[in-house]
A = this chain, B = another copy of it.
Amino acid sequence: MRAINRLNVLDTIRRHGPIARVEISQRTELSTTTVSAITASLLDDGLILPRHEGDIRNEAARGRPRVMLELNPDAARVVGAKIAASRLVFVVTDFRGDVLSKLTLPIRIDRQPIAVAADLVEDGVRRCVLDAGLSLEDVDTVCLGLPGVIEHRTGYVRSSPVFRDANVDFAAEMTARLATPTIVESDAHAITLAHHWFGKARDLEDMVLISLEQTIGLGVLHGNQLFRGAGGLSHNLGDLVLGMGQQGRLVRLSSQAGESAILGEKQADGRFAEAIRLGRGMNHASALIKAEDNVLIGAAVRAGEAVGLTIANIVTLFAPPRVILVGSSLALGEPFLESLRNAYALAVPPSLNGVTELVFDDSTDDFWAQGAAAVALHELYESPWSTTGPAL
């Protein structure tokens, strides 16, 4: 019971920057008395800090000035990571989610056996922690975001394009290696939380995000919470069926709009093939499109159309106020985006006209990793500080 209110207050402090107790009381609809008690306990546990400076109400600040409260950055440290086929990106953040250090390793891991991949990830985490001037013991939780179908509760990776093997208990593996609690989460969910906490969905409690990368992922925010499929499975949009093609063959979204589908259209020659192998295929493709390469433009237009239709279908199902699009495929530029927008406008049902806003976001990989860190922090929030809290 108290735990619920504590969480509520802590989350309010996280979301609304430095904030006074009175305002917390208004937002949480708890009495000032209760807020006072809870914040006292949070201060006692070192999770939040008072700031006597910034009382910037009205100009004429009569009465006793407010004491602003904010998260104590030093209350915890977490590591977030984005694991993609061609690169590993790590960040270490403090309790507020502010990035302390980042590290990008441009390494292909998708052809490696699982043990090698785990080795590389372990190295990355350790190095990034070191870069932040910390040791692994200072880190409370690690969260790894990777594409594919992931069971959040267990950290079980059903299938992922970055692993050669299927059905890997990656969370257990990494927890053992790092001797630190490690969460494995869908990268799409990570970036969704990133946008909810720091990005383009801070103002919303319902939202849908679609990630267009090597695979196509989905994140749904519903009532300020990540909507995880019934069994805690992540959503893999690439498997969606767009219709029947020739001879009763199914047309799946991944075959139209997956990274390999787009890049594969062009017979990869020399430098382009090299770029793809290094995981910079999309950037190269975008350059070729600017140079009016018709094959690639055609592929981009087809992909945009497929994605546009898919978004319309998802809007039909969820009717969210905003859909955020992220991922490397956005780099394809106008031919892709225009075709996407057109297909969407055509396909979204008239009855939902004006309900949903489309937003494109070209954040860097760091932001994904920061999202993974947010997942880790989110987990920390719910753990009982009173007993197993961080060093005070």
Seen from chain A, the residues whose Cβ lies within 8 Å of a Cβ on chain B are: 1, 149, 158-159, 206-207, 218, 222, 227, 229-231, 233, 235-237, 239-244, 250-251, 305, 309, 312-314, 316-321, 346-347, 349, 351-352, 355
The answer to whether B319 and A229 have CB atoms under 8 Å apart is yes
The answer to whether A316 and B231 have CB atoms under 8 Å apart is no
- Give the residues in chain B near A235, CB-CB below 8 Å: 316-317
- Give the residues in chain B near A349, CB-CB below 8 Å: 236, 239
| Neighbour of A236 across the interface among B233, B244, B314, B316, CB < 8 A | B316
Given contacts A149-B351, A346-B250, A351-B149, contact A316 B230 (CB under 8 A): no
A17 CB, nearest partner CB in chain B, Å:
26
Q: How far is the CA of A218 from the CA of B250 in the complex (A)?
A: 23
The answer to whether A351 and B316 have CB atoms under 8 Å apart is no
Q: A233-B319, A236-B316 are in contact. List 17 more A-B contacts (CB 8 A).
A: A159-B351, A222-B230, A229-B317, A230-B318, A231-B355, A236-B349, A239-B316, A239-B351, A240-B317, A241-B312, A242-B242, A243-B251, A243-B309, A250-B309, A250-B347, A313-B313, A314-B317
- Give the residues in chain B near A149, CB-CB below 8 Å: 351
Q: How far is the CA of A271 from the CA of B250 in the complex (A)?
A: 39
Is chain A's binding surface mostly helix, strand, loop or mixed?
A: mixed
A279 CB, nearest partner CB in chain B, Å:
24
A210 CB, nearest partner CB in chain B, Å:
12
Given contacts A230-B321, A236-B349, A320-B230, contact A244 B241 (CB under 8 A): no
- Give the residues in chain B near A305, CB-CB below 8 Å: 244
Q: How far is the CA of A158 from the CA of B317 in the complex (A)?
A: 15
The answer to whether A237 and B316 have CB atoms under 8 Å apart is yes
Given contacts A231-B355, A351-B149, contact A240 B321 (CB under 8 A): no
Output the nearest chain B residue to A318 by Cβ-Cβ distance: B229
- Give the residues in chain B near A222, CB-CB below 8 Å: 227, 230
Q: How far is the CA of A355 from the CA of B229 in the complex (A)?
A: 12
Q: How far is the CA of A98 from the CA of B251 in the complex (A)?
A: 47
- Give the residues in chain B near A309, CB-CB below 8 Å: 241, 243-244, 250
| Neighbour of A242 across the interface among B229, B243, B320, CB < 8 A | B243
Q: How far is the CA of A242 from the CA of B240 in the complex (A)?
A: 10
Q: How far is the CA of A149 from the CA of B333 in the complex (A)?
A: 35
- Give the residues in chain B near A236, CB-CB below 8 Å: 316, 349, 351
The answer to whether B351 and A241 have CB atoms under 8 Å apart is no
Q: How far is the CA of A237 from the CA of B222 in the complex (A)?
A: 20
A301 CB, nearest partner CB in chain B, Å:
12
- Give the residues in chain B near A242, CB-CB below 8 Å: 242-243
The answer to whether A319 and B355 have CB atoms under 8 Å apart is no
Task: Write 8 A-B pairs (CB below 8 A) sorted by A numbering.
Answer: A222-B227, A237-B316, A237-B317, A239-B316, A239-B352, A241-B312, A244-B309, A250-B346
A217 CB, nearest partner CB in chain B, Å:
12
Output the nearest chain B residue to A310 by Cβ-Cβ distance: B241
